[in-house]
Structure 1
């Protein structure tokens, strides 16, 4: 079986959905259904993590590289806490380099997903925050991630438009995606992942 490591935050661990509803789990299952022997993902992700917190967790984690596929989705909590895009670029760059190393130095086996737009959620509306500013800052963070991913030669999947097109597909907390939205993310990621895995 091909090995898969998924790195991230609440969106990767699937906050408020069952384990089988997480997008990396759905991705692996969909690829297996198409004849790609991808194992269940090893997931290193926790709700609330920023880039530096994921990095610290990676320092303490036990890995078994090289992984045949590594996914990375991180940054929403940097934006939520008011951190700068410049800081995000520096820390994302280092995380991406570590992801590539864990994929055996193969950038073509690393899949980066964009940060979804939480400004469309009831949680954001009820928070009294500037929704347009949230969306603009996330666009800036995603532009950084896309640039760094392209520069490294890894693959990028933009799921932000899905989050904006389906604001009702949420978990009961009114913030995190539902299993139905994660299924759409997995579908978008599968098209790219299948190419990466040949």
Structure 2
């Protein structure tokens, strides 16, 4: 029996993708996703992380343009919070998101996509009311656009972060996920990748 090649994961995003809020990558997103998939699938899984604090979708395009991307099978994205805080127009947010995914797929060969929805900014401890309410409403608007777009792509999955609306479980800064939330997020991402991979295998069988 021929050994399966390594499954290659590429994670692109902002500070949450980068793991801000926890001490190291072992507690963040990319590395745990790879470990969980390796266990689920019984095969080697490699990962690459391209992320930077503060970037919105437009700025992520520049980040990717100046990054050396390795070949990948699945793309995982975590963007949108900084589009809210920088008040980018919803149509521009979605347009840049689509451009980013298209560019990364072209450069890496990645087919599968797991897009993370925007976090529930309405409960953000770091912001006071009524700013918190306003940011939350804006995030919901962008999130719905993202979710609708992803629903039209059979090779993509959307992951809601609404379950993370628990301020006491967040990082000390009151802005980023806590370790338990990163763990749950990684579990959800790995489940969606495994499901997409199984779907691909069925189509090829």
Of residues 53, 56, 60, the one that matches 1:54 is 60
- Cα gap change, 1:33 to 1:105, in 2 (>3 Å): closer
SS in 1 for 2:65: helix
Aligned to 2:45, what secondary structure does the other structure show?
coil
The answer to whether residue 116 in structure 2 is matched with residue 113 in structure 1 is yes
Q: Which 5+ residue runs of structure 1 have no aligned equivalent?
A: none
Whether 2:167 is the aligned partner of 1:151: answer no
Q: 2:99 aligns with which of 94, 99, 114?
A: 94
Three-state SS of the structure 2 residue aligned to 1:176 is coil
Contact 1:99–1:110 at 8 Å: present in 2 too? no
Deviation at 1:145, TM superposition (A): 1.1
- Contact 1:159 1:185 (C-alpha < 8 Å) held by counterparts: no
Determine the C-alpha separation between the residues in 2 that align with 1:123 and 1:86: 27
Q: 2 CA distance for matches of 1:172 and 1:5?
A: 27
> Do the aligned residues in 1 keep the contact of 2:21 with 2:173 (CA within 8 Å)?
yes
Note the residue ranges of structure 2 that are not aligned, 5 or more in a row: 1-5, 199-205
TM-score, length basis structure 2: 0.86
CA gap 1:68/1:99 in 2 versus in 1, 3 angstroms: same
After TM superposition, give the deviation of residue 38 of structure 1 in Å.
4.7
Counterparts of 1:32 and 1:26 in 2: how far apart (Å)?
Answer: 10
Summarize the Cα distance change of 1:155–1:38 in structure 2 as closer, same or farther, 3 Å threshold.
farther
Task: State the match for 1:183 in structure 2.
Answer: 183
TM-score w.r.t. structure 1 length? Answer: 0.88
Pairwise CA RMSD: 1.8
Q: Give the Cα–Cα distance (whole angstroms) in 1 for the partners of residues 14 and 29 of structure 2.
A: 12
Matches within 5 A, 1:113-132: 113-125=116-128, 128-132=129-133
* Equivalent of 2:16 in 11, 19, 42: 11
Identify the residue that residue 203 of structure 2 maps to in structure 1. none
Runs of at least 4 residues off by over 4 Å: none
Contact 1:27/1:186 (8 A) holds in 2? yes
